[in-house]
Amino acid sequence: MAKYIKGVERILKRWDGTAYKPVVCLTNTDFSQALSMIERSNVCTGGDVERSPDTISRSVSFSGVVVDTSELTGGMTDGETIEELYAAQEASRASGVADQWVLAPANDSTYVQEKYFKGFLSDANDSFGEGDATFSGTITINGVPTSTDPNE
């Protein structure tokens, strides 16, 4: 029988210069990798389309609920809130330097492997409407993620 992996098994963290701080109260993370293709069609191909690989783009999307962090316990007490992520986004825009991130196992998961990467928080938003206030964002990754922490 297959073991199903729960979504809470992986957490997103941002390096703040001294430690990786988790993004508080995540409900979802998505890692995406897309290969763009070059397409050619000409007389030499008989009108058939030929495809060859070009570039790979990678991103991480995430979402969560906005909470009063003064009442958090455990590892979330020193986590990144959406407001801190907005400030980090402004800082990386001003400096032109990508932040260091990690998608890491939240528990002792043997399935979830660390993915360390540099990237820009290219999209961030919060929503205050009916029900719980929520936030979401997208990190555009520079380069190839690794399983090795560059800060060790």
Flag whether pLDDT at 76 surpasses 70: no
CB atoms within 10 A of CB 60: 21
3-state secondary structure of 145: strand
> pLDDT tens digits, residue range 12-28?
999 999 999 999 888 89
3-state secondary structure of 6: coil
Residue type for position 135: F
pLDDT tier for residue 146 given thresholds of 50, 70 and 90: very high
**Which of 75, 69, 74 shows the shortest CA–CA distance to 135?**
69
Flag whether pLDDT at 139 surpasses 80: yes
Please give the domain boundaries of the chain with CATH numbers for all domains: 8-146 (2.40.30)
CA distance linking residue 39 with residue 36, whole number of Å: 10
pTM of this structure: 0.84
Give the contacts of 92 (CB within 8 A, at least 6 positions apart).
98, 99, 120, 121
**Which of 87, 22, 30, 98 shows the shortest CA–CA distance to 60?**
30
* Of the ranges 9-23, 37-51, 59-73, the best mean pLDDT one: 9-23
Flag whether pLDDT at 89 surpasses 70: yes
Characterize 108-122 residue by residue with b for buried, 16 or more Cβ atoms within 10 angstroms of its Cβ, and e for exposed: eeeebeebbbbbbbe
